[in-house]
């Protein structure tokens, strides 16, 4: 099969399209003919030697943690899926999952069926970003109807899904983005969109119960006073989580870091919302697998709207 492999940590120029052996499903696993994979910041961060690189083990490594495709074989003990099922998943994170490849072996419990109303490319980008948004809002954030939620980087892969999931939970949602993304976010249901280029957020946003922070670092620290006394920020970029937490503590704000967890059951809930038209994945660009280096460059620009997808 064809797969993208990394032989040495470094920039996108280190990625190679190669012919490799097809993997075989073991007990509790499913073999997919993979049709599409989502690209996320964690992919280029890990390939550069940061991100989840400590979990990668020996190189070469096939990057990619989320995918959508068709089941072609199942291992022993798998009852939930059979050949021909259309599925999608967020797999094995932070260990290697090998989704930038024509065939992928997935733990059955980390997949969900792709309903007819959920398009292939949208499904491929929903796993990682969707579960991050869901777990940040619900598992870490305990979001409640009537609360005020601020999403930093609301137009990004995680952010645009967090906006919709927070609305679906009955929250009032404020999002930050540049002016080019204002209309996009209003269409997704954002009640207030604030252009972060024009002055301090604290002058325009207050009394927030929960912040979902997709930016991290000083931007996250500067946004803390938008919270109510004792309010909570769930900060996504792991690399600055300790710095943000240290800044929050003396001010009486709570900060939680997160590592998104594969979860087939929660993925099924996202699929239902998407099929019912209540959760839309916005496709940034769809590129062929061979153009993965360009996808990494686009993602690393930091200004991607919605999700980048590799078509396989
Ligand atoms: N811990 C975890 O498990 C986990 C899981 C997923 C993601 N993450 C991390 O969370 C972060 C966000 O991920 P993502 O996939 O959503 O990234 P992404 O799609 O690359 O985010 C791009 C978006 O960021 C916005 N942006 C950039 N700087 C901004 C700023 N200062 N204020 C507001 N918006 C800004 C851009 O909007 P404009 O173009 O309008 O500027 C763009 O839409 C990344 O650092 C990622 O590694 C962590």
Q: What is the mean pLDDT of residues 232-242?
A: 98
CB neighbour list of residue 68: distance below 8 Å, 6 or more residues apart: 34, 35, 36, 37, 86, 87, 88, 89, 114, 120, 121, 123, 124
Q: Which residues pair with 3 in a beta bridge?
A: 18, 101
Q: Rounded to an integer, what is the distance from CA 243 to the centroid of its chain?
A: 22
If one residue of 126, 183, 214, 297 were mutated to test the ligand 1 pocket, choosing by the most ligand atoms within 8 A of its CB, it would be: 214
Left, alpha or beta for 64 (phi > 0: left; psi -120 to 50: alpha)? left
Contacts of 2 by beta carbon, 8 Å cutoff, 6+ apart? 17, 18, 19, 20, 101, 102, 289
- Residue pLDDT, tens place only, 102-132: 999 999 999 999 999 999 999 999 999 999 9
Predicted confidence at residue 7, as pLDDT, reads 97
| pLDDT value of residue 184 | 98
Instruction: Output the pLDDT for position 310.
Output: 98
pLDDT of 208: 98
Task: For the beta carbon of residue 27, count every other beta carbon within 10 angstroms.
Answer: 9
* Separation between Cα atoms, residue 162 and residue 94, nearest integer Å: 21
pLDDT, the chain, mean: 97
Nearest-angstrom CA–CA distance, 266 and 132 = 11
Q: What is the pLDDT of residue 19?
A: 98
Helix then strand then coil, % of the chain, to nearest 5: 35, 30, 35
Q: What are the structural domains, with CATH classification, of the chain?
A: 2-114+282-311 (3.90.180.10), 130-256 (3.40.50.720)
Q: Whose CA is closest to atom 18 on ligand 1?
A: 156
Quote the pLDDT of residue 269. Answer: 97
Answer yes or no: is the C-beta of 304 below 6 A from any ligand 1 atom: yes
DSSP-derived letter for residue 150 is: E
Provide the pLDDT confidence category of residue 43 given band limits of 50, 70 and 90.
Answer: very high
Q: What is the mean pLDDT of residues 289-306?
A: 97
CA of 77 to the centre of ligand 1 (A): 38
pLDDT range class, residue 183, cuts 50, 70, 90: very high
**pLDDT band for position 57 (50/70/90)?**
very high
pLDDT at 62: 98
Report pTM. Answer: 0.98
**Cβ(296) – ligand 1 distance below 6 Å:** no
């Amino acid at each position: 099969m064809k797969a993208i492999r990394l032989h040495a940590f470094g920039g996108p120029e280190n990625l190679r399209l190669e012919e490799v052996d097809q993997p075989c499903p073991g007990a509790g696993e499913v073999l997919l003919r993979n049709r599409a994979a989502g690209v996320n910041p964690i992919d280029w961060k890990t390939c550069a030697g940061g991100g989840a690189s400590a979990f990668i083990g020996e190189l070469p490594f096939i990057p990619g943690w989320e995918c959508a495709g068709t089941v072609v074989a199942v291992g022993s003990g798998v009852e939930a899926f059979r050949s021909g099922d259309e599925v999608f998943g967020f797999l094995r994170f932070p260990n290697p999952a090998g989704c930038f490849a024509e065939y992928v072996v997935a733990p059955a419990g980390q997949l969900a069926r792709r309903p007819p109303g959920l398009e292939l490319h949208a499904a491929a980008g929903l796993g990682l970003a969707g579960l991050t948004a869901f777990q940040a809002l619900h598992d870490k954030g305990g979001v409640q109807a009537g609360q005020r939620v601020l999403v930093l980087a609301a137009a990004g892969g995680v952010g645009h899904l967090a906006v919709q999931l927070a609305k679906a939970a009955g929250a009032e949602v404020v999002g930050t983005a540049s002016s080019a993304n204002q209309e996009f976010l209003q269409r997704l249901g954002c009640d207030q969109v604030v252009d972060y280029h024009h002055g301090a957020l604290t002058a325009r946003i207050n009394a927030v119960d929960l912040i979902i922070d997709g930016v991290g670092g000083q931007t996250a620290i500067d946004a803390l006073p938008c919270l109510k006394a004792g309010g909570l920020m769930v900060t996504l970029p792991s690399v600055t989580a300790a710095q943000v937490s240290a800044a929050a503590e003396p001010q009486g704000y709570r900060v939680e870091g997160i590592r998104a967890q594969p979860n087939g059951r929660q993925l099924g809930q996202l699929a239902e919302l998407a099929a019912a038209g209540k959760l839309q994945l916005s496709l940034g660009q769809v590129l062929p697998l061979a153009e993965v280096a360009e996808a990494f460059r686009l993602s690393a620009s930091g200004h991607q709207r919605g999700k980048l997808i590799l078509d396989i």
